[in-house]
Structure 1
């Protein structure tokens, strides 16, 4: 007999079971109870579920204190959660969410036992963050009712839920879980069961490029973090975030994704992070990572250039057919600082897209295109070349990163520093590495997001929602690609590939396809 699954949200008042009462399980129970479900919480550890319910009650009380929940609603929600004495107590559930140890065989055994208890119409969901949903369900009698329901920690606060379909998962099951997560106040996204799903796959470059920059001595962690936050618009810098996550956890995820993709160089783990793990410098939980976390330790200040004289004049060279949005925004800040920004044509015979660029005191100042400033100076035959990094919002950014060519004279570089300082930026210098910090990171995030879409893992909208709601990026990678321009992203990646000679920076076929269509206005979003 074929079981029938709805594709609408589970009804309020229906019974949901949560297996595992740790941080994730108790968070899922809290959210489900708040949405009006009867919740059964089961844990094999003695008294663990009862203690979790007591802790949930305290969390509800805090919400009442903050005015985010009425006392009546809090009491009613807590009353809807009860402890299951044995696994058999979940027999009447319409949904069982597993949040136990990340071990394939343990999860398989649990779901095999659940199949003997619950009805055929009960949906089985796993909160796994890294194990194949297909593999978990492979030995089930009815694998079509198993789906991934990947929440993010802390569950009550994080909006994203990845709804993961294995090869056998019935579409109506995934649709029901999607609709249910939405009714619980979450932002669900559909994805196929592939290594890392969406977030843990697409986020790898955020850490990987930072670790690469540090290993190449581009700047200290505090400076790179400040650039990513104050210039890139990210909520937390990569080094502070890795310290928060724990280097053992972060490194393990990277290794897992790398191995699952059969050694794809895009996911190559960092030797530097391996050394952090080897040393036991795991981050906040051990008191030391890239930063120290003792009571008397003070986080180091980011490098900021000394104040330089404001240049007397500045001009901007323009080139027909080139996107001048970035130079236009900076020019507006310069105009607000009292500069008259003259426009000029590119120099006769200029090479390699000499425009758009700012010019002052002999310095030619370009947005990075993935080459080092030294490479670009050599190609342009202009020694006094300075590069600036990508910013999330040039109108509001408080910091900008600059890199100077090895050939660049002090007078020209100092003029460039003084120019950006006059426009209200704190200037941080990084060593002359290809692609700088924000630009190469965003380009790699966009590349990975495009590959996920190209391979049918998820839609463009899903990957952008996932990265904004799951890891708090200021903009989805593909929306950011539209803002920068597909041509700029492909150029950066191509130049990184040439500079490093590595497959790590190969361009996604979807980005190349979008670039070929830009003449007709092809973008990820209309």
Structure 2
């Protein structure tokens, strides 16, 4: 089989659009000779010129030496026909997502390259097994899924189809490393790893909006400030485009036979059908000006002119995180006199359920989310028919202490608990079905989606047992199978094991 460690390894890239150009660039910068091919007349030459222009800009910025750039450019060959791929030890296909086009192309490539050459697809959604089934040597067919923009995104998913030889996967790991990427090996499955794993973040945000629990601005602010995510789910959807993320959500949902964990919402579809795709159309979940800035951004903060509370009763005694929060807000804990706010730290439970279960006066109950980073923002919620004066007084106390209060409608798990538990649960389910190793799942989600932690790392930060308890409580309250805990999570929670424990 081809020696992928050889200095003379030749990489073929078929399809010289944006993704193909990025793959060409990282292969060249990895020191390999590249043959660029495109079926469109002039396509390979145009793509090569854009790659060269990018290299020139790197020289101008001082991040690439001129001599090194010249040597790199000399390794780029523009194909005059598919037969020019003959010397390639690895060919990466990066054409548009059409299964028949890819099958025809792979058949043509097989007729040109050596029998020990590896042929990989950059597909983001099509099954590798479906491509390989028409090939003479399906064992050498695999996925090599890069992320856009390729030169900036360090991740590459290496997809092992049903017939892919283990040796081919090992060699593609080496190729990915030579490209300067971080490779993760993934089983052939709908959405592969990142496109599947990202569904929890966006769809749970959409469900919070659908249930009128919180506004998009509130969800985004909590995920940024308390969860340390670079963007909230609604910001992200508007940036990538609802014309992109809605179809992907539906494809993954349908290919997983309508698993409720992956279900999106009617509003998501309505925005897509209305052409409100986000920044690119000027309106999505938010409205945008010509520079892509949000017009009249809604505030996630609860504003009140109520006098700050000074004393509260506590319905969940012994919660250290709650005690620290109350002290920081200058709230003194006293025995309940029947007139003061009653605060409670809840985990996976809504205020209604807690009040009914414990007999706490729901009109004075103010539930507080103590999870995540509460240094800048705190989330409060109350049950239906609660007296808003108690909520406002507690909110005012936090605001006075410099902590922005976000007030939401009653919800099992608030915002952050629901979002993080669902992200962790989907990560655990990916581990359960052996989609990838636990560590690779975490690596992929951090590099592919800029998560602050991987899904299984989130479970361990929250506490595996607590994550399981939060999901179980949400599932009990909603009876929605969307929130059923993964068996991977359940077993490790019950046995007191870490989320990464494999055996």
TM-score (norm 2): 0.92
Q: 1:86 to 1:5 in 2, by over 3 A?
A: closer
Q: Is this contact kept in 2: 1:5–1:173, CA < 8 A? A: no
Q: Is this contact kept in 1: 2:207–2:264, CA < 8 A? A: no
Alignment match, 1:351 = none
Q: 1:301 aligns with which of 298, 301, 306?
A: 298
The number of aligned residues is 496
Residue 285 (str. 1) matches residue 305 (str. 2): no
Q: Distance in 1 between matches of 2:365 and 2:96?
A: 54
Superposed, 1:209-288 pairs within 5 Å as 209-288=204-283
Residue 85 (str. 1) matches residue 61 (str. 2): no
For 2:283, what is the secondary structure of its paired residue? coil
Q: Distance in 1 between matches of 2:296 and 2:76?
A: 42
Residue 514 (str. 1) matches residue 492 (str. 2): yes
Q: Is this contact kept in 2: 1:243–1:289, CA < 8 A? A: yes
Q: 1:390 to 1:439 in 2, by over 3 A?
A: farther
Alignment match, 1:53 = 48
Q: Distance in 2 between matches of 1:20 and 1:208?
A: 32
Deviation at 1:74, TM superposition (A): 2.1
Q: Distance in 2 between matches of 1:77 and 1:313?
A: 69
Q: Distance in 2 between matches of 1:171 and 1:390?
A: 46
Q: Which runs of 5+ in 1 are unaligned?
A: 348-359
Q: 1:441 to 1:172 in 2, by over 3 A?
A: same
Q: Is this contact kept in 1: 2:438–2:500, CA < 8 A? A: yes
Q: 1:342 to 1:74 in 2, by over 3 A?
A: farther
Q: 1:178 to 1:431 in 2, by over 3 A?
A: same
Alignment match, 1:357 = none
Q: 1:59 to 1:328 in 2, by over 3 A?
A: farther
Deviation at 1:124, TM superposition (A): 0.7
Q: 1:493 aligns with which of 461, 471, 475?
A: 471
Q: Is this contact kept in 2: 1:276–1:289, CA < 8 A? A: yes
Q: Is this contact kept in 2: 1:313–1:340, CA < 8 A? A: yes
Residue 364 (str. 1) matches residue 343 (str. 2): yes
Choose 225-234 or 145-154, whichever is displaced more.
225-234
Q: 1:363 to 1:95 in 2, by over 3 A?
A: same
Superposed, 1:317-466 pairs within 5 Å as 324=320, 326-327=321-322, 330=325, 334-335=327-328, 339=330, 361-367=340-346, 369-382=347-360, 383=362, 384-389=364-369, 392-394=372-374, 397-466=375-444
Q: Is this contact kept in 1: 2:428–2:499, CA < 8 A? A: no
Deviation at 1:392, TM superposition (A): 4.0
For 2:384, what is the secondary structure of its paired residue? coil
Q: Distance in 2 between matches of 1:375 and 1:49?
A: 62
Alignment match, 2:500 = 524
Q: 2:195 aligns with which of 197, 200, 205?
A: 200
Q: Is this contact kept in 1: 2:26–2:151, CA < 8 A? A: yes
Q: 1:512 to 1:467 in 2, by over 3 A?
A: same
TM-score (norm 1): 0.88
Q: Is this contact kept in 2: 1:19–1:41, CA < 8 A? A: yes
Deviation at 1:500, TM superposition (A): 2.0
Alignment match, 2:16 = 21
Choose 481-490 or 27-36, whichever is displaced more.
481-490
Deviation at 1:180, TM superposition (A): 1.9
Superposed, 1:98-117 pairs within 5 Å as 98-117=93-112
Choose 296-305 or 465-474, whichever is displaced more.
296-305
Residue 174 (str. 1) matches residue 165 (str. 2): no
Q: Distance in 1 between matches of 2:57 and 2:6?
A: 27
Q: Is this contact kept in 2: 1:243–1:282, CA < 8 A? A: yes
Deviation at 1:204, TM superposition (A): 0.6
Alignment match, 2:310 = 312
Q: Is this contact kept in 2: 1:482–1:525, CA < 8 A? A: no
Residue 95 (str. 1) matches residue 90 (str. 2): yes
Deviation at 1:184, TM superposition (A): 2.2
Q: Is this contact kept in 2: 1:12–1:37, CA < 8 A? A: yes
Residue 502 (str. 1) matches residue 480 (str. 2): yes
Q: Distance in 2 between matches of 1:268 and 1:101?
A: 26
For 2:156, what is the secondary structure of its paired residue? strand
Q: Which runs of 5+ in 2 are unaligned?
A: none
Q: Is this contact kept in 1: 2:309–2:331, CA < 8 A? A: no
Q: 1:361 to 1:56 in 2, by over 3 A?
A: farther
Q: Distance in 1 between matches of 2:307 and 2:67?
A: 63
Deviation at 1:221, TM superposition (A): 1.8
Deviation at 1:14, TM superposition (A): 1.7
Q: 1:5 to 1:42 in 2, by over 3 A?
A: closer
